[in-house]
């Protein structure tokens, strides 16, 4: 579980920041991020319900009121090609290894998006992955995406995102062979085949 351990400094209920967009209101934002309207008001010193586009809202403890249901998933990139390295056990010489995600052919510079509403809990380099993002989706669900181009990131640690929001661009490959996007899906820190994200 080394990948999720990288996110340890950000506890699951750690504060997040959300940028208000057109059509938002406190009820909608609270529903997206598993909190309450009252909690949003308190965290941001709001007396009423008036919000402005571009306003940064603090979400004190996202997903604390979220039922443990599976998020609605989207593909993390539009142009994903063949599976280069599949999920599950594989042999490396005489050693049996366990691949916790899947590597799909994907050109550097392809846009990488949030596969579900969530909070960026870790964003940085990790050996064997390159620059990666770990997203907490509430209810014990998390995704891992790498390698990302560190020069073209659209988010920071603590950024609250909606499904489909841009995270950055696919970076240069870490593994040998053609460029790819590595995708992991976790439930309660257990690796699950990420097929549902790739439909």
Q: How many residues does the chain have?
A: 199
The 3-state DSSP class for residue 43 equals helix
Contact present, 160 and 14 (Cβ < 8 Å)? no
Residue 47 DSSP class: S
Domain membership flag for residue 80: yes
What are the residue ranges of helices labelled H in the chain? 2-5, 26-32, 37-44
Contacts of 12 (CB under 8 A, 6+ apart): 63, 121, 136
Domain membership flag for residue 10: no
Domain membership flag for residue 56: no
Domain membership flag for residue 43: no
Tell me, what CATH number does 162's domain have?
2.70.70.10
Domain membership flag for residue 139: yes
Contacts of 193 (CB under 8 A, 6+ apart): 87, 88, 102, 185
Domain membership flag for residue 136: yes
Cα(86)–Cα(160) distance, rounded to whole angstroms?
29
Give the total number of structural domains in the chain. Answer: 1
> Quick one: which of 57, 41, 43 has its CA closest to 160?
57
Q: Which two tokens stand for residue 104?
A: 């799909």
Query: Residue 88: which domain range?
Result: 70-197
Q: What is the pLDDT along the chain (199 residues), one digit of tens a residue?
A: 455 555 444 444 589 999 999 999 999 999 999 999 999 999 999 998 999 999 999 999 999 876 667 899 999 999 999 999 999 988 777 788 888 999 999 999 999 999 999 999 999 999 989 999 999 999 999 999 999 999 999 999 999 999 999 999 999 999 888 999 999 999 999 999 999 999 8
Domain membership flag for residue 3: no
Domain membership flag for residue 76: yes
């Amino acid at each position: 579980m080394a990948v999720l351990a990288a996110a340890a400094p950000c506890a699951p209920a750690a504060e997040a920041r959300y940028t208000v967009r057109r059509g938002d209101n406190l009820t909608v934002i609270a529903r997206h991020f598993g909190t309450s309207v009252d909690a949003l008001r308190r965290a941001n010193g709001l007396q009423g319900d008036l919000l402005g586009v571009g306003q940064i809202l603090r979400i004190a403890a996202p997903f604390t009121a979220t039922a443990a249901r599976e998020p609605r998933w989207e593909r993390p990139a539009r142009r994903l090609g063949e599976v280069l390295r599949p999920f599950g056990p594989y042999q490396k010489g005489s050693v049996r290894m366990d691949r916790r995600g899947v590597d799909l052919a994907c050109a550097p510079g392809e846009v990488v998006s949030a596969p579900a509403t969530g909070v960026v809990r870790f964003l940085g380099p990790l050996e064997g992955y390159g620059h990666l993002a770990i997203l907490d989706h509430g209810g014990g669900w998390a995704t891992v995406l790498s390698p990302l181009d560190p020069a073209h990131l659209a988010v920071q640690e603590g950024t609250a995102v909606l499904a489909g929001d841009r995270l950055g661009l696919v970076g240069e490959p870490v593994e040998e062979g053609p460029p790819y996007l590595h995708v992991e899906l976790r439930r309660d820190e257990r690796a699950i085949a990420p097929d549902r994200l790739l439909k």
